[in-house]
A and B are shown apart, each in its own frame.
Chain A
């Protein structure tokens, strides 16, 4: 494999891995605070739809992103209300959000645009444009470093850089700040936080809101960055893959980067090599495309080491006597 091919694959790994990374970090904040969130998929989907719709109508991708954030935050609010305030079952609430998003996006899409649930294609300022980093063109001809900088590092859309910047930021927030300490404590033993005089409910709502914001970014990126418009069910299970990556990463930000990039890489390879001959055995294209999902199943089945979830995960906090 030559350098240009490798760079192309890695480049598409970054583009395809970025939404997973955003969703995975979203799940990380929520689950570290003890709120399991199977509804990442639905939040991303609703954000993708509303961002595409608003970006098309206004012609501004930034207004689109804003709308995406609002959509995902509203879904988060439902999840928070159900699982924090009313102490409902977090899985059921998450599944409900997925169904709600799946149905509502198509319904509203058809009602507004009459294109079978799609939004019209986004063009110009309604889409994210690649950003060329400084000196990328000038350095292009420098051997090895030049192409890596130009092809791989430069030329992505803004949200990709945001996603990558969020990894150290999340780490810092979780491990170096008061908020992070409390958030992690709430996911492990909410009673400890409660008796320390800190509101468990407040911290959990904050975590769920951060989760909403990040899934909002992920959805907006899908519709306005990776594609040019919303298509029915366009998240295609990315929310679940992000959850698998989250388990794989053992609920840690840097490992989340690694895990999501692994999934991104698989997807990139599948796109690049539609059919692959492995030691004389031809692998069909369907197999290649199924790879990320197969890996998901393997990870969720617990083959990849022992992953200990936050101890209070999934349990509503009820003050005991």
Chain B
């Protein structure tokens, strides 16, 4: 009954903490991923962990979930030293993990996913029946309703995440670790998730939230720990800190969270899109008549939940996908479905494209950085040597120059693409596309998985390009990013533009409703 007393009142924690780490260290070869980490997480609290990519958050959580074994240090669960050599032990110790990339079997039902690995018996039928009862109960207790017989692949991302939480609760988890849980959610879904987490906390569950969104940390955590370069640099009460202070702790220097930019001075219209329609491979219409315009010297931000046609818009403008309708660049009609619809023709026309999925479309991860900076422009005369050969020396020199100008770390041109962190990969791509001085820059999810320090840098580059009188079409699922960068905001929902807003005259609530397909001025869409 000791648990009851502590419910929702971290102050009453004369009890041992739910988790205590003492001096955890872990090295991968020469890289010290975690160095002497000690932290206590009180029972019945929500504890945030923030840090840049590569700060060691994931390693630490992997140690806690039995993926890795720490080189040294001790884990105490509920005050008792506990060895966690594998995931099974972590589950037995009451730890549940909701990964950033869900670990679900897409063509299994919700029930099958929930019981996988916890079937208590060689036959499935009893386990399925038990899970069905449990799910009904959990749905009532925590607003965690999902159809137990639905196939996971048919569920929305928000519901899939609930399945992950249900999996952990079905295994009687007392401690729930969530890794970047809101990255894929709409604002409304994120609010729902926070209500669920609040309910779990009320029931005495302990929650560890790993995120890079400082706003969420401020909103729902009780305490927050900051990691930097493998070390735990601070653990503070959330009420006694601020986003600015946390950002400074994470990066180790002062960081500008808001983008510093002058008002836009838009000029002539560069891009005109009229009634653009795109069908996917299954014949489903993904863009249902999109019309928009982008002028020189302005950033048009496209907000929306992932999967509402933004990707298709970027792809068809970038020449990767085909569509119907009219697109004019500087008054010249672009080929949307014929032979002239390809990336090379678009580049020649003056469009640069920083694709959303940088690891698949932006880079070849197994190729060196100097090879990657030439992709798309490999025919440029300065990279050529004679009629048939590439001038590799020129490529290397160019790459080193870009690395210096865009602060790519480490600045080693011969390093393979996959050896760079997400932020540095992005800087390489942005350098490649921006330095060609395009009339129009298409940029998708510019800072997904990018460190705070690099975000600031990339944002500055985008604004600088705008100030140079270029047109920029920005697609991002991060509302903060859309709000701080854009000069105008278009919200996409279900393949259509739901509305245009002025960033100074709108707010997250209004945009969130538009993203969910609800237009206040017109009623439900």
Contacts and interface: CB of A to CB of B under 8 A. Distances in A.
A321 B66 CA distance: 11
A197 B91 contact: yes
B121 interface: yes
B106 A196 contact: no
Contact of B122 (A177, A189, A191, A194): A177
Interface string B59-81: 10010011100000000000000
A182 B118 CA distance: 10
Nearest to A172: B123
A181 B116 contact: yes
A178 B105 contact: no
A192 interface: yes
Interface string A166-182: 00000000001111111
B117 A179 contact: no
A192 B97 CA distance: 12
Interface in B5-33: none
B121 A178 contact: yes
A198 interface: yes
A194 B87 CA distance: 8
Nearest to B87: A197
Interface in B97-113: 97, 99, 103-108, 112-113
A176 B125 contact: yes
A189 to B, nearest CB: 5
Nearest to A310: B107
B129 interface: no
A319 B62 CA distance: 11
B54 to A, nearest CB: 11
Contacts, number: 75
Interface string A182-195: 10110011011111
Interface residues of A, number: 22
Given A179-B122, A185-B108, A197-B88, A192 B59 contact: no
A311 B106 contact: yes
A180 B105 CA distance: 14
Contacts of A176: 123-125
B259 interface: no
B3 to A, nearest CB: 24
Contacts of B106: 188-189, 311
Contacts of B461: none
Interface residues of B, number: 34
B58 interface: yes
A175 to B, nearest CB: 8
A189 B105 contact: yes
Contacts of A196: 87, 91, 103, 116-118, 167
Nearest to B28: A321
B83 interface: no
A192 B116 contact: yes
Contact of B105 (A188, A197, A321): A188
A195 B87 contact: yes
Contacts of B91: 196-197
A188 B102 CA distance: 13
B180 interface: no
Nearest to A186: B105
Nearest to B88: A197
Contacts of A319: 67
A181 B119 contact: yes
Contacts of A185: 105, 108, 116
Nearest to B89: A197
B107 A188 contact: yes
Contact of A191 (B103, B108, B115): B103
B86 interface: yes
Interface string B118-138: 110111110100000000000
A179 B197 CA distance: 33
Nearest to B65: A195
Contacts of A182: 116-117
A179 B125 CA distance: 13
Nearest to B108: A185
A180 B127 CA distance: 14
A190 to B, nearest CB: 9
Interface in B167-211: 167
Contacts of B119: 178, 181
Nearest to B113: A192
Given A194-B87, A319-B67, A321-B58, A181 B112 contact: yes
Contacts of B88: 197-198
A260 B270 CA distance: 61
Contacts of B107: 188, 311
A176 B115 CA distance: 13
A196 to B, nearest CB: 3
A22 to B, nearest CB: 24
Contacts of A188: 105-108
A177 B58 CA distance: 34
Contact of B97 (A180, A181, A195, A311): A195
A321 B123 CA distance: 32
A192 B122 contact: no
A321 B104 contact: no
For the complex of A and B, the 9 pairs showing the least CB-CB separation, nearest first, are A196-B117, A197-B88, A178-B119, A197-B87, A192-B103, A195-B103, A188-B105, A198-B117, A185-B105
Interface of B: 58-59, 62, 65-67, 86-91, 97, 99, 103-108, 112-113, 115-119, 121-125, 127, 167
Given A178-B124, A184-B105, A196-B118, 7 more contacts: A177-B122, A180-B124, A181-B119, A189-B106, A193-B117, A197-B90, A319-B67
22 contacts: A178-B121, A178-B127, A179-B122, A181-B108, A181-B115, A181-B116, A181-B124, A184-B105, A185-B105, A192-B103, A192-B113, A192-B116, A194-B87, A195-B97, A196-B91, A196-B103, A196-B117, A197-B87, A197-B117, A198-B88, A321-B62, A321-B67
